[in-house]
Structure 1
């Protein structure tokens, strides 16, 4: 008898009657959104409120720590991917490696939760969190992850998304005095227009 996890996987996994357009959308969601989320952090750093850069940097640090945590969790718990045990349909090429947890979903949800928790960009955080749910669905739909992988990712993301608040002050104190001069020095060295790439306009991390 199949376990609950396997039953849920078979309910979400693409059937032979799945529409090609649905498969195409799932492929875009499964592979492209992590790059869009990373790009969003860059955009918010460059064109967002300079006073919120510490929170943005803390979000990036939290996401990196979450991915490192995934590797540690993966060493402690091995889960073969569905196609490795002959379950369901696989519509996305993937190496036969540990499935638990999902790095893609962990990254998306950690970024989303941290943007909300740190108040760096709460609106965008909710949007990215929603996209993270779609990433989780798409990777199950395409047959490269089990639902339990996504549950683990959500737990890891919740932990590090929450911890991001505690990272903001150390980042502001120790990382930003190095990061911002390097960033703005690079802008000047490349002679990029201040109108297109604004420089820091004020002090503090308490701007509304």
Structure 2
């Protein structure tokens, strides 16, 4: 398994003389796409279907749980990053720390699968999952992760997306009504115009 992991890494990892444009693209995907995905959740809460807010909240909560699971797995299974064992080429600076599983991969895949599992958005779920594959490729290409790190992330994400599906109904019943009132009240206090930031009560 470890030998296969290293062989796959070397197949994906950048060459000794990579194309500069490809490196720049990979760096953007590896580090900045996660921000765009987080903004998708925020925008979906603010301007999307308010009836889907329980699903969005469940997806966000499952993502936090998944990242916590990563920390636990990191204590149980230590894997050095490729550059720590002198393997391949590293094109992005990173701390010398445990590589398994990938937090970036877990974040992307949990949100994507969570959006699908809860029914929050089939379109964005597919888009985010595909973006997660791109992030996984980019971080291996840049030499900061092994393929097995991304496979581990996908498995954690799959399990936690089921948690999101199970949590959606209880959250919709017990948490979202309070969250809606708090959100509307915050917008009122900040004097954000309702034409740009629709209130929940206006859609009741």
1-side partners of 2:89 and 2:26: how far apart?
14
Aligned residue runs from structure 1 range 43-192, under 5 A: 43-192=43-192
Deviations 1:129-184 (A, max 9, x none): 00000000000000000011011001001111122110101211222132111111
Distance 2:195 2:95 in 1: 45
SS of corresponding position for 1:94: coil
Across the aligned residues of Structure 1 and Structure 2, the Cα RMSD in angstroms comes to 1.1
> How many residues get paired?
202
Instruction: Detail structure 1 runs of 4+ shifted over 2 Å in the superposition.
Output: none
The residue number in structure 1 matching 2:196 is 196
**CA distance in 1: counterparts of 2:139 and 2:175, whole angstroms:** 35
Q: CA deviation at 1:202?
A: 4.0
Partner Cα separation in structure 2 for residue 17 and residue 116 of structure 1? 39
Contact 1:5 1:146 in 2 (8 A): yes
